[in-house]
């Protein structure tokens, strides 16, 4: 079920009313969430439900077994490792089997041997990478002693399948979300209203900005060799806005939906396009995934508390895994490596900083230094998105080569100016609101007329400027 669908427009209010006014006891509410989440997820294909149920069951049992054998560290380690391996095998078969078979076949063919391994004609389950990582983090945290294992299967199944963030995150930790299923929730009017505001901003970013950008990007991308470099640069920038507004829009809707039901999900985006270096960008983009890699891969490898060479090694490993997490194609691997090398370069040159606040904190405009840092970082990110968006390495290289040719400086006539104004509107509004939790956080505005005028303007923009054809969220494929 798509957030931007008529079905969801009926689904969410129905869930909200039944959740607060009919199923008022905590355990019953949890059971209701499980049922609603499975309906939501099964809307794509009911057969996917068996997979998420199996993943949930394995992780639930592993947590209990780890707790039961407290003090027997080796046995706990085996239980934890077994669950991790089971989950990774499931993810690997559905997402990476054909990729590895095809590449092994190419390697063996180069040595004169023909490999006749069969490939699998299977559909990638929606959101499998998200809920698998959520299940893995639970087992690891129980093993580490960061959280006690839950003995209530309803609580745990609700934690894994919670519909607002099930398909495309944020990837929640059991330490944050599971205790919320274990405690009684009470309706908070202020939280619910703010959740609606955040959802509204998410719908605007997805339906007005991302979907309109997608139309232009799809129009030019595959025939890139027919256009001058300047035109391709505009297309690449539009894709950068498309993927940001698409993914962060989903996160806004997810977080807002959860708040309607009394839950607090972790922030997943923190105005990443205002970053002043690549490291800051990755602290502000897809925060739930990057902190997952930090806590479960980067820190165990030694993190930053080792030699510079090992820090660079750890960074490369994290971004290679991040690239593979996004998809089974060499473009994602190269994209991950590209960002790892950028971070290593910034680190070597002493240009990597850990900023405490967003750019121009306490000021209206950035300094010239900050502006140049933001623009450079954004351009580097745009280059990365070209690799990410391309169908293969050949297309990525061809697009970059054509974009960076002398035609980059040719004057072009823009025929898609409305979408540029939509992008500009997002940048201006988010810049003004960059010290807020989300861009439509206007609860502090005293004038009720002003607040409702803002809401009306956003709703009007969605109604008038959203394309007629709805598109899926980009990160559903991961």
Which residues are known catalytic residues? 326
**CA 339 to CA 288: how far, in whole Å?**
18
Q: Which of 465, 446, 445 is nearest to 457 (CA)?
A: 465
| The Cα angle at residue 149 between residues 146 and 152, in degrees rounded to 5 | 145
Find out whether the peptide bond into 170 is cis, omega within 30 degrees of 0. Answer: yes
Are 168 and 130 contacting, i.e. CB atoms less than 8 angstroms apart?
yes
Q: Which of 278, 282, 289, 340 is nearest to 315 (CA)?
A: 340
Are 182 and 150 contacting, i.e. CB atoms less than 8 angstroms apart?
yes
| Phi-psi label, residue 148: left if phi above 0, alpha if psi -120 to 50, beta otherwise | beta
Element (H, E) at 59: helix 48-68
- Provide the residue count of the chain: 478
**CA 332 to CA 324: how far, in whole Å?**
6
Distances (CA, A) of 149 to 69, 258, 475: 12, 23, 30
Task: Please give the structure tokens belonging to residue 402.
Answer: 């054509």
Q: Provide the greatest CA pair distance for the chain.
A: 76
Helix axis angle for 174-182 and 153-161, nearest 10°, is 130
């Amino acid at each position: 079920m798509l957030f931007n669908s008529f079905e969801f427009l009926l689904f969410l209010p129905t869930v909200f009313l039944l959740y607060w006014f009919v199923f008022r006891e905590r355990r019953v509410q949890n059971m209701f969430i499980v049922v609603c989440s499975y309906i939501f997820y099964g809307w794509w294909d009911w057969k996917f439900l068996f997979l998420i149920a199996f993943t949930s069951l394995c992780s639930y049992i592993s947590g209990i077994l780890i707790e039961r054998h407290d003090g027997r560290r080796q046995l706990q380690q085996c239980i934890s490792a077994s669950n991790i391996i089971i989950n990774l095998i499931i993810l690997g078969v559905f997402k990476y089997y054909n990729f590895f078979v095809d590449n092994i076949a190419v390697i063996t063919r180069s040595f004169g041997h023909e490999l006749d391994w069969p490939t699998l004609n299977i559909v990638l389950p929606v959101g499998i990478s998200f809920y698998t990582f959520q299940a893995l983090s639970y087992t690891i945290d129980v093993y580490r002693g960061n959280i006690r294992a839950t003995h209530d299967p309803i609580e745990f199944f609700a934690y894994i399948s919670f519909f607002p963030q099930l398909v495309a995150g944020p990837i929640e930790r059991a330490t944050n979300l599971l205790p919320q299923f274990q405690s009684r929730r009470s309706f908070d009017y202020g939280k619910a209203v703010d959740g609606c505001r955040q959802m509204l901003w998410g719908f605007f970013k997805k339906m007005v900005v991302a979907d309109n950008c997608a139309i232009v990007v799809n129009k030019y991308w595959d025939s890139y060799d027919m256009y001058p470099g300047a035109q391709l640069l505009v297309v690449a920038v539009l894709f950068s806005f498309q993927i940001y507004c698409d993914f962060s829009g989903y996160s806004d809707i997810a977080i807002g939906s959860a708040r309607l039901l009394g839950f607090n999900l972790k922030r997943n985006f923190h105005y990443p396009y205002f970053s002043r270096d690549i490291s800051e960008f990755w602290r502000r983009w897809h925060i739930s995934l990057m902190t997952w890699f930090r806590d479960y891969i980067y820190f165990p490898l030694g993190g930053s508390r080792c030699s510079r060479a090992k820090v660079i090694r750890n960074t490369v490993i994290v971004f290679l895994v991040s690239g593979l997490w996004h998809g089974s194609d060499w473009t994602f691997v190269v994209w991950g490596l590209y960002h790892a090398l950028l971070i290593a370069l910034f680190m070597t040159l002493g240009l990597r900083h850990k900023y405490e606040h967003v750019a121009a904190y306490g000021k209206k405009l950035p300094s010239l230094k900050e502006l140049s840092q933001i623009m450079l970082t954004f351009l580097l990110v745009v280059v990365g998105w070209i690799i990410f968006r391309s169908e293969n390495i050949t297309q990525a290289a061809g697009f970059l080569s054509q974009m960076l040719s002398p035609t980059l400086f040719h004057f072009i006539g823009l025929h898609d100016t409305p979408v540029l104004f939509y992008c500009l509107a997002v940048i201006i509004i988010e810049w003004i609101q960059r010290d807020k939790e989300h861009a439509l956080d206007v609860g502090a505005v005293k004038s009720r007329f002003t607040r409702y005028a803002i809401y009306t303007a956003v709703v009007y923009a969605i109604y008038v400027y959203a394309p007629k054809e709805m598109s899926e969220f980009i990160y559903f494929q991961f």
